[in-house]
Structure 1
Amino acid sequence: MENCVRFGAVAALAILTGCAAKIDGGHSCPACPEMVRIPGGIFQIGSDADSPGHVADEAPRTMVELEPFEAARFEVTVGEFRAFVEVTGFAQEFPCFVMTEGGGWNVDYDASWRDPGFEQNDDHPVVCVNWGAANAYVAWLNETSEGPEFRLLSESEWEYVARAGSQTTFWWGERQDDFCRYTNGVDRSAREIYPTWVRSGECDDGYVYTAPVGAFAAPNAFGAEDLVGNVWEWVEDCYAPGFSDLPRDGSPRGGQPCEKRVLRGGAWGDYGAFYLRSAYRGAFDPDWSFAMLGFRVARNLEPR
């Protein structure tokens, strides 16, 4: 049954054959991502001005209280997204920023989650999906599953899960170059291919582009993996430069128009490993996609 839960390569077959994975409370969910239970709690989102690597939009540090919920153990994989496409006929209609030979970024209207400019297999995190595509996948999960509805994480939930109780700059501690033990970031081998990435780490994590999810077998204290590194992750929130108006209950920040959505986590192609800090934030046009941007899902414990 594990293959039904984690590996999306068999998702379409699972639906057709009635293979149902039982996860967290016995909810029947054909081919759903593997979920872990996240305990409720109180934490401070963001970073202080004197924190290493602090950026202005990470302030002010704000107390947030969250109820228990579930988060996917891994980012949504190529295989899981492929199953959604094969069942629904979802068609991509948006461009993707891809890596150039010189290590820069350029928009490519032919690139897609099927071909982001580097080799992937079904166990790699899906990339080149915009915010709308991520939500289309979520809607499909909800049509084919029972129990509480799936959704994207809020920004507060994402940082809470990423920190997993830690107070350090990185979830594993304070040493930036320890990241190669825990995740896929911009390392020494990446700099050999892209010499302009002068802020890369001095360790070698074994991957230049995306790594298979769970490749490092390094779950945090909540049991989630790859929260930082590998690929950025879309969250639900509209971007705002700071946390002064952030909901204190962990819900996503809305607003219209929502010109940019928040990204979290850092990725394989960010020029520097400091993007792997738990507090680091990104923002991107929700209509566009990126070859180092994917997503993960969450859901409440009870129906809304």
Structure 2
Amino acid sequence: MSDSIPPEKLVDHLVDLLTVERTDEAKFVGKPQKDGIGRVFGGQVIAQALQAAQVSVGDSKTAHSLHAYFLRGGEEGPEITYDVATDFDGRSFANRRVVASQLDADGSKRPILNLTASFQTPEPGLEHDEYEMPDVPGPDALESDAQVRQKIVERAGDRMGAAQKATVTRPRPIEIRTAGRLHWMNSEPSEPEAYSWFRAVAPLPDDPALHRAVIAYASDFTLLGTSALPHGLSWMRGELVGASLDHALWFHREARADEWLLYATDSPWSGGGRGFNRGRIFNQQGELVASVAQEGMMRKRVKKPKN
């Protein structure tokens, strides 16, 4: 990790990024990523939309699921507004519908994401855990992805431009340690399965809603790339064109996002220009804390013929 930005400062920036401002009873504003360029990270929009929904519900009920559709790519820089509709408020459950939008050049609203979140008053119930945590090396036995990225940049030398190097090696508030190889690490076809540990790089405030938002933010990492593994292709190497189409997340139990969580992903199918991916998130005690599903556009990049 770069020494220029302390881990605590990176996490402060993440907390600030995921803290939405309430400007009206049903309207919130999300800050842009500091020094962000290009397209907004989908996990950021999901997490900010979830935060808007959580604030509108209050502390009596907790989010147990969300379903989101990406409509258009968001642009880094302009703020994102979140309009929240109260579709249901019951004794045990509540539902919120959120539309994330940015302004076009002509000042008109442009929706970029729709999200629906469901909330429940905590209660005891019948319990079972069907899945055991995969038997993979623990985080202490693995290199961080930041170290792996730095090695890739060093090996690339002049084949990688300065801007690309800066993007690949920029400090991140979420540390990831991968058991095996992600799609951008390897060009050999492999089974559509990936295992990565993740956590915030420094302690987070003791706010369960914020920890759910950070888990939602991190759940968009590594997921779509799982469907690229059987094909030996990568977005980072410019071999694929892709974008997330939808994202679903179920919270099963409370978890801290500043403690190591294992993200086990698999892709049972791809075809028709799309890839389908699933994820299971475990704590270090082996308990399933969340489940994820996502489908994304995935097309092989066609090289334009030279004139």
TM-score range, shorter-chain basis? under 0.3
> TM-score when scaled to structure 2?
0.27
> TM-score when scaled to structure 1?
0.27
Identify the structure with the greater strand proportion.
Answer: 2
Higher relative CO (Cα under 8 Å, sequence separation at least 6) belongs to: 1
